Amino acid sequence: GRDVLCSGGMPLPPGTKLLSVCKGAPNFILDYCTAQLGEDGSPKPMSDEDKQHVLDVVDKYSERALRVLAIAVRTFDRMPFDMSNEDLTTDQKFEACRTNLKLLGLVASIDPDRDGVPESVLAARGAGIRVVMITGDYLKTAIAIAHNVNILQAQDNEALAAVDCARLRPGGEYLSHADMDLLTSSVRVFARAKPEDKLEIVKSLQRQGAVTAMTGDGVNDAPALNQANIGVAMGIQGTEVAKGASDMILTDDNFCSIVSAVEKGRTIYAGIQKFVAFIMSVHIAEVMQIFFCIVTGIPVMRTPLQILFLILVTDLPPSIALG
């Protein structure tokens, strides 16, 4: 019985009983739009020039690291498919509801960078760790975010360092291993990624001999998390599927914690190396002393005082050097 969707909202044609609402990436939603809502609330046909104008606006928002969604609707006086037909799939029903859509507008949002992430990315780069971002965002949005967190820097060539994942699968088929490895060896930002893209990227990096750590929180991240040498799931926002497929769980969902853990791990590893070097040097010296005594016929040091002296001269210098 309404003639408008809400107070001051979109007018509804007479006889409207059903409303289909579609939202998603603007470049996909626009393909199904044949009309748009004007400033006065009246619908008007949507030409290719109008669609290009909308995409230009999306580009401007994306360059400011904003995530942009398009919202489109269609009204019905009855269901656009036969409800009694049980052979229809969900995709077929959805396809029937998304034809001849009317564009309502765009919604832009921002996911602000966490404190310390840009510095942590630089610290990781200085430690020899290559940070790669794989995201479903629009390419320009991904590039802007990557610049904000120092994954991409001013001197980087964006055309080479950031790509749309469609380049991984031209024509629907993935590139050969050689071409895929050549591409992933230099790219640090992958946009518009599908779940299978993430898996192929991880496999490609592993073929190049890289020890790969993958972070993720969704069900679609599980295959890549399982394939990676170290799968890291988000402890707060992560799904149970992602946690089950990963090797470790990040309790605070913060990238800075990963860099801090790597730093502490390398400190522990360096300490183990020093300890092994110390033990080896001390024992080799003791074995050489005993061997020298046996060869030359000198009595082996066996008295408590001699043993203490041996420990003093073999343990103290390496301890000071390694400490």
Q: Mind listing the pLDDT tens digit for each residue in 41-73?
A: 788 999 999 999 999 999 999 988 899 999 999
Alpha-carbon distance of 36 to 30, in angstroms, equals 10
Least-confidence region, from 41-45, 198-202, 204-208, 254-258: 41-45
Mean pLDDT of 240-244: 93
pLDDT at 314: 67
> What proportion of the chain, given as a percentage, has pLDDT over 70?
96
Q: Give the burial string for 300-312 (b: 16+ CB within 10 Å, else e).
A: ebeeeeeeeebee
Alpha-carbon distance of 156 to 159, in angstroms, equals 9
pLDDT category, 244, cuts 50, 70, 90?
A: very high
pLDDT digits (tens, 9 = 90+) for 117-142: 999 999 999 999 999 999 988 899 99
Mean pLDDT of 205-212: 95
pLDDT at 21: 92
Torsion of CA 37, 39, 45, 49, to 10 degrees: -110
pLDDT digits (tens, 9 = 90+) for 282-311: 777 777 877 888 888 877 766 777 777 777
pLDDT category, 1, cuts 50, 70, 90?
A: low
The pTM of the full predicted model, rounded to 2 decimals, is 0.75
Q: Output 3 or 187, whichever has higher pLDDT.
A: 187
Q: Contact, 228 vs 208, CB < 8 A?
A: no
Q: Is the pLDDT of residue 206 over 90?
A: yes
pLDDT at 178: 94
Q: Contact, 51 vs 29, CB < 8 A?
A: no
pLDDT at 276: 82
Q: Which position has the token pair 């401007």? A: 60
pLDDT at 301: 65
Nearest CA to 198 out of 161, 158, 225 is that of 225
> What proportion of the chain, given as a percentage, has pLDDT over 90?
52
Cβ neighbours of residue 298 closer than 8 Å, sequence gap 6 or more: 292
pLDDT category, 151, cuts 50, 70, 90?
A: very high
pLDDT digits (tens, 9 = 90+) for 6-52: 777 788 888 888 889 999 989 889 999 999 988 777 889 999 999 99
